């Protein structure tokens, strides 16, 4: 078994100590990120390390490591570029973004550039549909990219730069990000200083404020008035729900106006 560094052993002990006695197996997820931080993927040695450290079987570790997409079975470069090609992003050009980035890097899905620096992957929804199409580098967001801007980002990476993400802190290496995902804080002051929520994420809130909508004035739950589907249930069909009136936004009611 390949020896992990003393730092990784110490970090593993620190992670396990966060959990109640007798519940150390709950530390598996951060421990997998930890071994990935040292080796660039969850290797056979990493699986064995987690199993031995937590007193569980390699099969149990493997079952978890192969279930979640953030645990990599092949070495990842310094930068993991994930291009979302799920529905919202696909409708707005995500596939073309992926194709152009793949062409520029000369690699396809789940492949790494020959110099070992950049790994590319298709990603399912990255939970940022309000900024579609999006891509991430080491899980930091680059919002509303297009093929040209996405290629410019990976060209920056190839030139040794770290293009600033749209939100969040400055870019880290994959190893640094993996260590943070294991539960160790980003030591950089700027790491938590970047922009957080953007306007698309609060568009509904702003609309509600503009319209003067309040949660305690919401209409009765629609589900209570929804008629049963034919063939389901035993009682008579309930009358169709009356349409719920939707007030028009009144910009004059916005705060500050």
Min separation Cβ 167 and ligand FES, Å: 13
Q: Is the Cβ of residue 132 or residue 150 nearer to ligand FES in the bound state?
A: 132
Q: Is the Cβ of residue 31 or residue 132 nearer to ligand FES in the bound state?
A: 132
Q: Is the Cβ of residue 183 or residue 200 nearer to ligand FES in the bound state?
A: 200
Q: Is the Cβ of residue 113 or residue 144 nearer to ligand FES in the bound state?
A: 144
Q: Is the Cβ of residue 129 or residue 211 nearer to ligand FES in the bound state?
A: 129
Question: What dihedral do alpha carbons 81, 82, 85, 87 form, nearest 10°?
Answer: -140
User: What is the dihedral sign for C-alpha 118, 119, 122, 125?
Assistant: negative
Min separation Cβ 196 and ligand FES, Å: 17
User: What is the dihedral sign for C-alpha 37, 38, 40, 42?
Assistant: negative
Min separation Cβ 162 and ligand FES, Å: 22
Q: Is 128 helix (H, G, I), strand (E, B) or coil?
A: coil
Min separation Cβ 202 and ligand FES, Å: 17
Contact present, 215 and 71 (Cβ < 8 Å): no
Min separation Cβ 225 and ligand FES, Å: 31
Q: Which residues, including other chains, have CB under 8 Å from residue 97's CB and lie 6 or more apart? A: 83, 89, 133, 135, 145, 146, 147, 150
**Helix 147-158 vs helix 94-105: crossing angle, to nearest 10:** 30
Min separation Cβ 204 and ligand FES, Å: 16
Min separation Cβ 114 and ligand FES, Å: 29
Q: Which residues, including other chains, have CB under 8 Å from residue 234's CB and lie 6 or more apart? A: none
Helix segments in 106-244, DSSP class H? 147-158, 174-181, 203-211
As a whole number of angstroms, the distance between CA 218 and CA 233 comes to: 28
DSSP state of 81: E
Q: Is the Cβ of residue 34 or residue 128 nearer to ligand FES in the bound state?
A: 128
Chain contacts with ligand FES (rule: CB under 6 A):
84, 86-89, 125-126, 128-129, 132, 134
Q: Is the Cβ of residue 112 or residue 144 nearer to ligand FES in the bound state?
A: 144
């Amino acid at each position: 078994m390949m020896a992990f560094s003393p730092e990784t052993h110490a970090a593993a002990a620190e992670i396990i100590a966060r959990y109640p006695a007798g519940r150390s197996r709950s530390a598996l997820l951060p421990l997998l990120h930890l071994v990935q931080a040292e080796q660039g993927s969850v290797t056979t040695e990493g699986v064995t390390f987690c199993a031995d450290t937590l007193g569980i079987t390699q099969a149990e570790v493997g079952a978890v490591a192969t279930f979640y997409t953030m645990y990599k079975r092949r070495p990842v470069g310094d930068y993991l570029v994930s291009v979302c090609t799920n529905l919202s992003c696909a409708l707005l050009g995500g596939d073309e973004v992926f194709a152009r980035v793949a062409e520029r890097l000369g690699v396809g899905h789940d492949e790494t550039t020959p110099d070992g620096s950049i790994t590319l992957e298709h990603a399912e929804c990255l939970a940022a549909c309000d900024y579609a199409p999006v891509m991430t580098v080491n899980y930091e967001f680059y919002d509303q990219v297009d093929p040209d801007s996405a290629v410019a980002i990976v060209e920056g990476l190839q030139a040794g730069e770290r293009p600033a993400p749209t939100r969040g802190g400055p870019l880290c290496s994959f190893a640094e990000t993996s260590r943070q995902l294991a539960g160790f804080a980003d030591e950089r002051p700027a790491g938590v200083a970047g922009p957080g929520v953007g306007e698309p994420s609060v568009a509904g809130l702003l609309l509600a404020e503009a319209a003067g909508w309040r949660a305690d004035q919401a209409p009765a739950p629609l589900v209570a008035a929804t008629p049963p589907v034919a063939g389901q249930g035993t009682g008579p069909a309930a009358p169709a729900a009356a349409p719920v009136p939707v007030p028009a936004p009144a910009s004059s009611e916005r705060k500050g106006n």
